[in-house]
Amino acid sequence: MNKTTILIATNNKGKAEEIKKIFQNTNFEPKFLFDFSEQLKDLKIIENAKSFEGNALIKAIVVGDILKMITLADDSGLCVKALDDRPGVLSARYSEAGTDRENYLKVLKEMTGIPFAKRDCYYNCAVAIYDPKTKFVDTVFGIWEAKIALEPKGEKSFGYAPIILAKDFDYKKTNAEFDPEDLININHRGKAFKQAIKVLEDYLKY
Which of 35, 42, 65, 75 is the catalytic position?
Answer: 75
Three-state SS at 87: strand
Q: How far is CA 95 from CA 28, 55, 87, 146, 197, in A?
A: 37, 19, 10, 21, 34
Concerning whether 75 is annotated as a catalytic residue, the answer is: yes
Whether residue 9 contacts residue 57, with contact meaning beta carbons closer than 8 Å, is answered with: no
Neighbours of 84 (CB within 10 A): 8
Phi/psi at 100 (5° precision): -55, -50
Could you list the active site residues? 75
